[in-house]
Copies of this chain bind each other. A is one copy, B any other.
Amino acid sequence: MSSDPSSATLADLGESGLVAKILARISESQVQSSSVEIAAGDDAAVINTSGSSFVLSVDMYVEGKHFRTDWSTAIEIGRRCAAASIADVCAMGAIPVGVLLAIGLPSTTASPWVEDFMAGFMQETSDASSILLGGDVSGSESIVISVTALGTVVTGAAITRSGARAGDIVGICGRSGMAAGGLRVLQRGLRSPRALVDAFRVPEIDYSAGVRAAEGGATSMIDVSDGLVADLENIARESGVGIEIDTEKIVVPAELVSTAAAFGADPMAWILAGGDDHAFVATFPPTKPLPAGFAAIGTVVIDRVGEVHIDGVRYEDAYGATPGFQHFSS
């Protein structure tokens, strides 16, 4: 490792260190624009246009880092790239509209792989009531996929990460820990339990959950891609609140219990730290019932700002590790 910080590499800085550097650079140089309601930094940007607003988000998926062609079929990879990208738009309370796809492919890529990838990508896009709005194809050393997702929301009604208030209920819609369990299974060279492996390969996303949360008065929302605790920390920090999770309220699926036991792991650690399931977590005023599909798992508190506590203690203290989900390295 270099001792001169100006010549640090990505490996030294880490992805979050790099993103912080980039965000610092951006905020210096942004021009003002009256049509931009929310710029970079949340799940997606929001653009206001006479009464309705557009929500936009981009994600990149790299072979060997986010997916492996020996672990997932081309159809599954296509579905997952569309699903994970569109989830960001839903997490703003928006209705998905369309996607743009840029794909880099090695010259050795077989044509049927690309056709299957597109079939899966279009199937999931269609399942989210969206269409393909544009694309680009290029050669590259390994498969690289970039998806921009677009949705619409009533102007002023987008749900950010910064609106949670002390006393709010934390609700989750969707699964957590299943994809992380599936990744552990695949990393050991196994292919079952199928429910976990399938969850890693293609997330099951309720594309109307974000709109239901918005209609149900959600004060903040995020989709869980980096891990339940890690993503709730984003809400806690940006809302200036603390969050308490009560693990007794979290239902642990039977497949997670048995697989974690076989691996000598704690299934609750997978649920709290695992990413890639793209559940929606949101905060709601305590005065109303939670929207359909959302289950209460905790509360927003006024103290311990920016922190998430699990049954009264920090994740690091309860589980001896940081809760960020590192996807995997090839």
Contacts from A to B (Cβ < 8 Å): 5-13, 15, 18-19, 21-22, 25-26, 29-31, 33, 35-36, 39-40, 44-45, 47, 49-52, 54, 56-62, 64-66, 97-98, 100-112, 114-115, 118-119, 122-123, 126, 129-142, 144, 146, 148, 150, 152
Contacts and interface: CB of A to CB of B under 8 A. Distances in A.
Say how many copies of this protein the assembly contains: 2
A104 B133 CA distance: 23
A8 to B, nearest CB: 4
A26 B7 CA distance: 45
A138 B65 contact: yes
A31 B111 contact: no
A148 B100 contact: yes
Majority secondary structure of chain A interface residues (helix, strand, loop or mixed): mixed
Query: Which of A31, A110, A142, A148: most chain B Cβ within 10 A?
Result: A148
Contacts of A51: 50
A3 B249 CA distance: 59
Contact of A137 (B22, B52, B123): B22
A111 B21 contact: yes
A163 to B, nearest CB: 19
Given A44-B134, A133-B56, A62 B148 contact: no
Given A31-B126, A40-B132, 16 more contacts: A5-B111, A9-B110, A11-B107, A11-B108, A18-B114, A22-B137, A25-B118, A30-B126, A40-B133, A40-B134, A44-B134, A47-B98, A49-B52, A54-B54, A60-B136, A60-B146
Contacts of A107: 9-11
B9 A59 contact: no
